[in-house]
Amino acid sequence: MTLLSDDDGLGKKEQEMEEFMHLMYAVEKTAWKSSFSAPVAKRLEIGAKVLDAGCGNGNWILEQANNYPASEFIGLDKTSSVFPSQIRPMNVYFMRGNLLTRLPFDDDTFDYVRMSNMLTVFNKENYEKAITELVRILKPGGYIELSEFEHSPEAGPYFAMFSEEFKLKAQSEKHGEQSFQPSESLPDLLSHTYVLTSLQKAHQRLLIGGRGGRLGMASYEMIKMCFGVIHEELLMSKWALNKEEYMEIVAALLEELNERESWVNSYRHWGRKIVGRCDGIGMGGCIM
């Protein structure tokens, strides 16, 4: 692969990925009119310790660090090349780490942990591992929040086909396994930690394209970029297509999105770690 460099020293692929992550965050934030749903704003104002797990290029963390200067933010990602190199507020720290192994934090360290858009990199088993570890390092009384985009089940055939492959990307090593819907599985995974309470799930429905106004156009651009650029190589090789054949299918997808009502859902799940003693994790025996 040839990497084209720009002034920032980023390759073309990295630039595209960065642009895509900006777009995803902008769409999510605009849809929700907020950057998070867990009731943590007051704590963040006073001063909290926060982890963004799989933080990517740190969009979320940089914005919150600016909004909440009394809080301390840690962004953790497996790939350190995605971390911002030019902006680094005093209350932000980025570190390399693998969410599928034990993280270098003591139990009960963070007031708030969050993780977003891991559908293409984690299968259900990985989510379970990561959630267990995030809950371990969450303080009693602290909040965990997860957010993911999902296509609507009523999507047209092209959108459904692309979206299914997109989800299967994370699960490619598990042939024959059915892809899972995070909106259905994440509540169970969170609940089965047996140390979370006040579990909530909410979603925003985003109509794709002109019918959805400016947000709809931004959602359209997000999907166009997701399949036309970000996952192009993977899908071309999976479907054994050359570039021209692949672009024809992408064009059919875009036409379908313009012609019929399709939407994506942005889901958020959050919950609070119980305050008190928990005997027999896995048996549900918690003393509040």
Ligand X SMILES: C[S@@+](CC[C@H](N)C(=O)[O-])C[C@H]1O[C@@H](n2cnc3c(N)ncnc32)[C@H](O)[C@@H]1O
223 touching ligand X, by CB under 6 A? no
Cβ atoms < 10 Å from Cβ of 109: 16
Q: Distance (Å, rounded) from C-alpha 212 to C-alpha 249? A: 23
Structure tokens at 151: 């296509």
Structure tokens at 48: 């909290």
102 touching ligand X, by CB under 6 A? no
Q: Distance (Å, rounded) from C-alpha 19 to C-alpha 228? A: 13
Nearest residue (CB) to ligand X, 78 versus 238: 78
For the CB of residue 126, give the shortest distance to ligand X in the complex, in Å: 7
Which alpha helices (DSSP H) does the chain contain, by range? 12-32, 41-46, 59-67, 124-136, 157-168, 182-191, 213-225, 232-238, 243-259
Q: Which residues between 150 and 209 bind ligand X (CB under 6 A)?
A: none
For the CB of residue 276, give the shortest distance to ligand X in the complex, in Å: 30
Site string for ligand X, 45-84 (x = CB under 6 A): ---------xxx--------------------xxx--x--
For the CB of residue 172, give the shortest distance to ligand X in the complex, in Å: 14
100 touching ligand X, by CB under 6 A? yes
For the CB of residue 100, give the shortest distance to ligand X in the complex, in Å: 5
Cβ atoms < 10 Å from Cβ of 24: 22
Residue pair 197/278 in contact by the 8 Å Cβ criterion = no
Q: Distance (Å, rounded) from C-alpha 150 to C-alpha 263? A: 9
For the CB of residue 103, give the shortest distance to ligand X in the complex, in Å: 9
Query: Could you please report the per-residue DSSP string of 167-184?
Result: HHGGGTTSTTPPP--HHH
Query: Using CB under 6 A, which of 21, 23, 38, 195 touches ligand X?
Result: 21
Query: Using CB under 6 A, which of 10, 14, 23, 24 touches ligand X?
Result: 24
For the CB of residue 157, give the shortest distance to ligand X in the complex, in Å: 25
Sites of contact with ligand X (CB under 6 A): 21, 24-25, 54-56, 77-79, 82, 98-100, 116-118, 120-121
